[in-house]
Structure 1
Amino acid sequence: MGSPGNDYKKIIDVLVRAGSGDLTTEITLSTDDPNLNAIAREFNKMVNKLKATITELRESNRQMEAIVKRLERIFNNSGDIILFINKYGAIVEINKRVKDILGYEPDDLKGKHFAKTGLIFSEEIPDLLERFKVAVKKAVIKDKLNLTCITKEGVKLHMEAGLRLLKDEEEVEGIIVVLRNVTEHIQSDIRLKEEKEKLRSIISSIEDLVLIVDKDLHLVEYYESPSSRENFILASVKGYAGKSIKNFFQSRLLRK
């Protein structure tokens, strides 16, 4: 039978090690003292539970780190500008895409109020500030809005902003903004409208009914001249908007 004094020393030694983070040693006693053995058993159980918990935490941390890395890759490799604006209006995070689209380094913009970065066309700032104020105060925001951004070189770009509130329970912590450059799309629409106006101008000089169809003979548009407004074909063809006019002409030929 061992000396209780030695067993006390063992217990104290292991407790000191555990206190410093060393959980590799369990208490093994040589005494038959039931109280000391009970202390040793409970301590060993506690240590084993702590080891299991630490292992689980390490695995959770490993998985969390992997998720964070994936999110960082998505964040930085996105084709759009992604930024997080806190409830005070300061840009907390912004991805590297801002350099490609607007010419700014992310660190040039972090920490600045979004309205004081020079990114936004000045005439649109008052409306955006009011929208931001309402969003933070009432937790209400539109999903999308259009705005004009200014590149570092002073070029205006048309942007579509996707907006999402970031909330901690019911309190708004900030807004996640996804900015997409739609300049080319808008310019294409403008050019298309201009071409349509030119086409209308040309067609207006034609005295007959003009039909525009796609490759499948679906009626896309029709243009009527003053002289064609009484044309019986015009009255009939109006019902074919968006439909194939192939059968329409076949039926008229058969009547003849």
Structure 2
Amino acid sequence: MKLFLSDLDGTLLSKDLTISKEDINVINLLNERGISFGLATGRDLHFCKRLADKYNLNINTFIANNGATLIYKNKVIHEEKIENNKVDFILEKLLPISNDLFVFEVLENERSIGLYNEYTKQDWNLYTNIFGDMLKTKFLDVDIRTLTKDNSYSFYKISMYVINPEKTTSLLCKLKKMFENHFEILQTSYNCIELSKKGVNKANTAEILFQQTPFTKETTSFIGDGENDIGLINLIPKSYVIETANQVVKEKANYIVKSVSEAILKELKIVNGKEIYEK
């Protein structure tokens, strides 16, 4: 069985969080040819499933939360949760730099919460309007720390928007010094940093996918654009990178393409609308 995996932000998703009609059409063509389509993303599972429903996409494989969640055919194959007491520890450590980082947790039903108790009402409204628009979510006036008291709630990652994107690199270095021995620290976009359980990443979860499903790395292709995609690019022999990615990522890929649709058409060996048959 063949699988085509795609990253979301900066790859399949545009900056306004939409998917182009061309990409949708070619993904559907991929399915018609009997090739499965999947996502490998830092986004949460709720977001991925809403996206699939919105565009009526047939997606049977989800590597979500930077690898903390693996779903195949609606079945949970693997999960890596951060224990609630460790979330309390992380949040406590982040408080001194909460003026530089906006910490948040995405809930179901397009709702999110953050460190509500740490901001004035004016600053809270300002930040939640800005970041709520980026996430396409509505922030509730509830502090994220209330969730750590609820043992029925699971944390897969801690997400942080950098309030001044020019500080992203310096804050990433600071966070790595604070947490690197115990947690994974990833920069997932120009102004977003995420923290996951140690050892959690897309590539390690893909290895589990290949062990527990009919897919193998030889029958899988991947497209991405970020430094957090390098592990998958190194793991999967046939890899594509979006041309707007930075150079360190592009150097790792087999092919540089303008879009997901271009990569899939290469997979299907279709050029200028005509199928090319190998002899």
Do Structure 1 and Structure 2 share a fold, with TM-score over 0.5? Answer: no
Q: Shorter-chain TM-score: which interval?
A: under 0.3
More helix by share: 1
TM-score by length of structure 2 reads 0.20
Larger radius of gyration, structure 1 or 2?
Answer: 1
Greater relative contact order structure (CA < 8 Å, 6+ sep): 2
